[in-house]
Structure 1
Amino acid sequence: TVFFILRKKFNQVTFLHVYHHCTMFTLWWIGIKWVAGGQSFFGAHMNAMIHVLMYLYYGLASCGPKIQKYLWWKKYLTI
């Protein structure tokens, strides 16, 4: 979110984007404070893995058109 704002890409700062980051911060804090371990780990881990794939895509996409033909899996990131 910070990088979008710094680059003046305000159209990418959607309600869903802000809502996701605000709720994830709150849920991580609650999970660490009161429900550490166990089932709370699954949701946090799944969210982290999705972000790893998402930023891998962003990194590869920024490498230019030669790499973009290998990014056929983009549509599966937003399912």
Structure 2
Amino acid sequence: MKLLKDYEVTIQYHPASIEVRATFIDEIKSKQFEDENLEELRKKIAIGKAQETTFDADGVLNFKGRICVPRVDDLIKK
């Protein structure tokens, strides 16, 4: 039986990246106001009681560095 180490090979790994359209981000941002749970998070941020929840430079709500996608209009499935 031959092993991989018996050959001269190079394994190259290229992690996938997601390209997000600006219009989709704008849609997420506007719909964040329609989601009751996200609106509650906004209120907690305003009074300083939201841990690990922030707004990015564009004003999009993030949790632990990830965009909060609202659960309205099947936006989360897009």
What range describes the TM-score normalised by the shorter chain of this pair?
under 0.3
Task: Work out which of the two has the higher radius of gyration on C-alpha atoms and give 1 or 2.
Answer: 2
Q: Which has the higher contact order (CA 8 A, sep 6+)?
A: 2
Using the size of structure 1 for normalisation, the TM-score is: 0.26
TM-score (norm 2): 0.26
